[in-house]
Amino acid sequence: MQDKITKILKAIADPTRREIFHALVVAATALPITQISNQFDMSRQGVTKHLKTLEDANLVKIDNKGRERYCSANTIPLKEINEWLKFYEQFWNDSLDNLGKYLDMT
């Protein structure tokens, strides 16, 4: 089973999924899959597959309302990615600082 971070990175690795996610974030409201599909040059089934990947990563919530399925963005999992990246940001900052100190001494 994939961990949360792996699922999130897999979901946002695809440019179409990033565009779908971005459209949902900008909309700031739940959108029907039909409306989302109309924004992309692919079948509804193709968009639905992308939405499923986003849903598996907890980046999208899908609710049934009558005959239509509505999707909304969930940005909270991106905080986990941000926290994960902070470690590496600090690592590189420290490494560059140490390199700078070393170069100053030579």
Q: How far apart are CA 46 and CA 25, in angstroms?
A: 20
What local confidence, expressed as pLDDT, does residue 2 receive?
A: 57
Over residues 33-55, the mean pLDDT reads: 95
Its pTM stands at 0.81
Residue 29 has pLDDT above 50, yes or no: yes
Contacts of 2 (CB under 8 A, 6+ apart): 10
